[in-house]
C-alpha cells in the first residue's frame, strides 16, 4: 500500500493504539487518531509527522457519547480520504467481581467493547465493500478463551464476530481480524487499578506491544480471522479448551 492509504485507530493515545499508529506511520499510512485525551493525541501526532512525514488527523472523541461516536462513524464513512484500515482498539477493564461492580460501569464496559466496534465496523464496511478492499482489526484478548467475568465475554463476542465477518466479507476484499494478545506491557493493567510491575505473572508470559502489533499486522495482511501473537499464547489458547472449567477460570483472573 502507498502513502495515500489511511488508517483510523481508536484508543490511539497510549498502549497498543499508539503502537499501531507508530507502525502504520512507518509503513507510510496517513492516520486518523481517535481518543478522549486531546493533549496525548497531539503529542503522538507531532511525533509521527516529524518522524515519518505522514499526514495525521486528530479526532478527540468519547466513544461512549453518542454524538461524539457518530462523528467518528461519519469520518469512517467519508471519502476525504477514505479509510483503508480501521483499528478498533479503545477499551478499559473492570474488577472481576461482577456482583460488586457498579452496573452502569458494566453497561459502559459492554458498550465500548461490543457496541462501539460493531458500529464502527458497520460504518467501515459501507465504504470498503464498494471499493472491494480494506482491513478491519479488532483488538480482543486471550481472555476471549478463558472464563473471565464480563471482559472475557465481551472479547469472546468480538472474536466470534470477527471470524464470521472475515468469512463473509473476505471474498469481497475485506479482511476482519480479531487480535488476541496476552499479558502485554502497555499500562493497561495499571489503569485497571492493579499494582505496577508484573502482578505475580511470570516474565515469560509478558509480551512487548511492538511485537503484538507487528504480528497482528502481518496476520491481517494474510487475511487471518484470528491473530494470537506469540507461540506461547497459541499453545495456551489451544490447551485451555481441554482444561476443567474451574482451572481455566483461575487462569482468567488476571490479564488482558
| Residues annotated as part of the active site | 151
Cα separation, 117 vs 16, whole angstroms: 16
Q: Give one DSSP letter per residue of 146-194, joined into a string.
A: S-BHHHHHHHHHHHHHHHHHHHHHGGGTEEEEEE---SEESSHHHHTTP
| Positions of E strands within the chain | 6-10, 30-35, 56-60, 85-88, 134-139, 174-179, 184-185, 207-208, 226-227
**21's grid cell:** 499508529
Cis peptide before 81, with omega less than 30 degrees from 0? yes
Look at residues 240, 118, 238, 131 and name the one whose alpha carbon lies nearest to residue 178.
118
Cα separation, 239 vs 45, whole angstroms: 41
Amino acid at each position: 500500500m502507498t502513502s495515500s492509504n489511511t488508517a483510523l485507530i481508536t484508543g490511539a493515545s497510549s498502549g497498543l493504539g499508539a503502537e499501531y499508529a507508530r507502525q502504520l506511520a512507518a509503513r507510510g499510512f496517513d492516520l486518523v487518531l481517535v481518543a478522549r485525551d486531546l493533549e496525548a493525541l497531539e503529542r503522538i501526532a507531532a511525533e509521527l509527522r516529524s518522524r515519518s512525514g505522514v499526514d495525521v488527523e486528530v479526532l478527540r472523541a468519547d466513544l461512549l457519547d453518542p454524538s461524539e461516536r457518530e462523528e467518528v462513524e461519519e469520518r469512517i464513512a467519508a471519502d476525504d480520504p477514505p479509510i483503508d484500515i480501521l483499528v478498533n482498539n479503545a477499551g478499559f477493564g473492570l474488577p472481576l467481581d461482577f456482583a460488586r461492580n457498579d452496573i452502569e460501569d458494566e453497561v459502559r464496559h459492554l458498550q465500548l467493547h461490543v457496541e462501539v466496534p460493531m458500529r464502527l465496523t458497520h460504518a467501515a464496511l459501507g465504504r470498503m465493500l464498494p471499493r472491494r478492499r480494506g482491513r478491519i482489526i479488532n483488538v480482543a484478548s486471550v481472555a476471549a478463551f478463558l472464563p473471565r467475568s464480563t471482559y472475557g465475554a465481551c472479547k469472546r463476542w468480538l472474536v466470534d464476530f470477527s471470524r464470521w465477518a472475515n468469512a463473509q466479507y473476505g471474498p469481497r476484499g475485506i479482511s476482519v481480524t480479531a487480535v488476541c494478545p496476552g499479558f502485554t506491557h502497555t499500562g493497561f493493567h495499571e489503569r485497571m487499578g492493579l499494582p505496577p510491575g508484573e502482578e505475580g505473572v511470570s516474565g515469560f508470559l509478558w509480551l512487548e506491544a511492538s511485537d503484538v502489533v507487528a504480528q497482528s499486522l502481518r496476520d491481517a495482511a494474510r487475511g487471518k480471522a484470528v491473530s494470537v501473537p506469540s507461540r506461547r499464547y497459541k499453545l495456551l489458547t489451544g490447551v485451555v479448551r481441554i482444561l476443567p472449567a474451574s482451572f481455566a477460570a483461575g487462569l482468567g483472573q488476571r490479564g488482558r
